[in-house]
Chain A
């Protein structure tokens, strides 16, 4: 009964627009599959779709690799340091994504802080702004909390005494980590990775501000179609393609994630 407001809200806010988008992609300007045929016949669309998935994958990988030690540190330190680490994760949430992305523009530009430091170290400048690398860095920073939080919540449930048990059975610390700790932390890795990956697929502001024409993501194309060209049908078709592709990928990944214990068992 108490779940009703949320249910209504979800149906109204997600269900209704989604239905509208699907309908419009099939009905504008006239009924038929013309918008989908258009999408798949334009090489630029496919390139951007592929790039969207590649960038999202990179962002997810960067997040996993950088969040893992951070989340582990949060479980290992005392309560006061943990609070500071937690605030470092949460404070960016309170700052708008636009502001954070703009600050990345300042950091990444050719005359920006990062390049100044690199040059003063004699390493020469690196082109970061309007490149795919810049987009990945910016997006990873914005999405990092979504990786750290689920990882931390799983990791803090792992009994560290198991590591001691593994060592008593003859496992050196690195072996104990890879055979015990890592498998037990995988549910957190998967949960965080899925959230980051899906959020990254739909990112608009960061790639638009940090990226150049060669790092356009699908959401930018949708925006152009809908707001600049008023092609609601084509924009809708793009959205549906992105949605379906995401579902297919998740369906492929699901068995791997579900069988994590069995897999560890077979090894």
Chain B
């Protein structure tokens, strides 16, 4: 756990969120397993993101928690109470949809007042809480508009106000920013983060965008083919991916594959006649592959320097200037690509330059190969 993660939420104030417990939830549609034994504990007040490619089971998981889909098997507890078999309208869970789902025949105010009306909140109290919720999403001036008169980002903010106005202990968001453009998305990410901090409610957020997941979440559960591959903070997933899929899905990575040899505590991989080695070995067997993060790789002119680090020859295939530094794609001798990020102070290279890629054996993540990791990512 990252230091500082625990101090989120309202300090000194008891969290108003509910803890959620999914215990080996499965959901089958005929012979297709949409969810295959998903277990996940979400702490009260936590911002948990379900991340994965489309069809990985993250939205199905959300629908099971919301009560829209009944799990085929498994247990589900919200706030310590089992909600299996409880219909959606009795779960008291806020849901924000990608398609906004505002009621087109009601004004913004009426939309936000809807869940309060259902709960018998009326008169001045209803008005006060509608105003408060609209204030929170900065839409207080739009109460008399109809949804069709608002932009996508404004509609989603109203939908958010509607989902939090009845103080649910849990808020589910299903790719809420998926239909918005990049600038607006980035700004709303920060808004959602602020609202989470102010409310102290448990947030469960579904996205396929790993950057979004990193920006928002306390912890991330990475989904693939109906299972959770790994649960952890963004840093844990980036620094210590448990599977090749996670390593490739979160952040940029270079994957080195080749004939592997293990002797003693050392694993070596042969890449087109060049040997790279690390003082690590794969615990659970399987064919080892090496995964390297772009900032762990360095570039040097062919044959220059090296000081005992691993060395692979290659040619610059792409050079991208990023402002704060540069990003290179290096075509390696075996045809694979290495992604290298270098700082401004480092030497710069041009497309076609013959280079050596250098890295320390200690920086290598040794993972079991998984052919399907590439398949599900594309």
A residues touching B (Cβ–Cβ < 8 Å)?
159, 161-162, 164-173, 175-176, 179-180, 183-184, 260-261, 264-265
With contacts A167-B67, A176-B89, A179-B114 known, what are 13 further pairs, Cβ within 8 A?
Answer: A159-B99, A159-B101, A164-B68, A164-B88, A165-B97, A166-B114, A167-B89, A169-B166, A170-B118, A171-B118, A173-B89, A261-B146, A264-B110
Cα(A179)–Cα(B107), bound, Å: 14
Contacts of A179 in B (CB 8 A): 114
Knowing A167-B89, A261-B146, A265-B107, say if A175 contacts B118 (CB, 8 Å).
Answer: yes
Cα(A54)–Cα(B277), bound, Å: 93
Which residues 74-106 of B have a CB within 8 angstroms of A? 87-95, 97, 99, 101, 103-106
Which residue from B97, B110, B166 sits with its C-beta under 8 Å from A170? B166
Cα(A1)–Cα(B66), bound, Å: 56
* B101–A170 touching, CB < 8 Å: no
Contacts of A168 in B (CB 8 A): 66-68, 88-89, 91, 93-95, 163
Total B residues in contact with A, Cβ cutoff 8 Å = 29
Cα(A168)–Cα(B101), bound, Å: 11
B residues touching A (Cβ–Cβ < 8 Å)?
66-68, 87-95, 97, 99, 101, 103-107, 110, 114-115, 118-119, 146, 162-163, 166
Query: Closest 4 CB pairs between A and B?
Result: A165-B101, A169-B115, A168-B95, A170-B118
Cα(A169)–Cα(B146), bound, Å: 19
* B105–A169 touching, CB < 8 Å: no
* B88–A167 touching, CB < 8 Å: yes
* A170–B105 touching, CB < 8 Å: no
> Closest CB-CB distance, B76 to chain A, in whole Å?
16
A interface, over-half SS: helix
Cα(A264)–Cα(B107), bound, Å: 10
Cα(A168)–Cα(B162), bound, Å: 11
B99, B115, B118: residue with the most chain A Cβ atoms closer than 10 Å:
B118
B interface, over-half SS: loop
Contacts of B103 in A (CB 8 A): 162, 165-166, 180
* A265–B106 touching, CB < 8 Å: yes
Contacts of A172 in B (CB 8 A): 87, 89
Cα(A241)–Cα(B104), bound, Å: 40
Cα(A159)–Cα(B100), bound, Å: 11
> Closest CB-CB distance, A107 to chain B, in whole Å?
41
> Closest CB-CB distance, B166 to chain A, in whole Å?
7
* Complex A-B: 8 CB contacts under 8 Å: A164-B88, A169-B162, A171-B114, A171-B118, A173-B89, A184-B105, A264-B105, A264-B106
Cα(A87)–Cα(B51), bound, Å: 46
Contacts of B91 in A (CB 8 A): 168
Cα(A162)–Cα(B162), bound, Å: 13
Cα(A170)–Cα(B95), bound, Å: 11
Knowing A162-B103, A184-B105, say if A171 contacts B89 (CB, 8 Å).
Answer: yes
Cα(A170)–Cα(B107), bound, Å: 19
> Closest CB-CB distance, B122 to chain A, in whole Å?
13
Knowing A169-B118, A170-B119, A265-B110, say if A184 contacts B95 (CB, 8 Å).
Answer: no
Cα(A172)–Cα(B101), bound, Å: 17
* B68–A170 touching, CB < 8 Å: no
Measured CB to CB, the nearest residue on chain A to B104 is: A184
Cα(A226)–Cα(B302), bound, Å: 107
Cα(A126)–Cα(B323), bound, Å: 89
Contacts of B90 in A (CB 8 A): 170
* A265–B115 touching, CB < 8 Å: no
* A170–B89 touching, CB < 8 Å: yes
> Closest CB-CB distance, A176 to chain B, in whole Å?
8
Which residue from A162, A183, A260, A265 sits with its C-beta under 8 Å from B101? A162
Which residue from B101, B104, B162 sits with its C-beta under 8 Å from A161? B101
Cα(A159)–Cα(B101), bound, Å: 8
Contacts of B105 in A (CB 8 A): 180, 183-184, 260-261, 264-265
Contacts of B68 in A (CB 8 A): 164, 167-168
> Closest CB-CB distance, A179 to chain B, in whole Å?
8
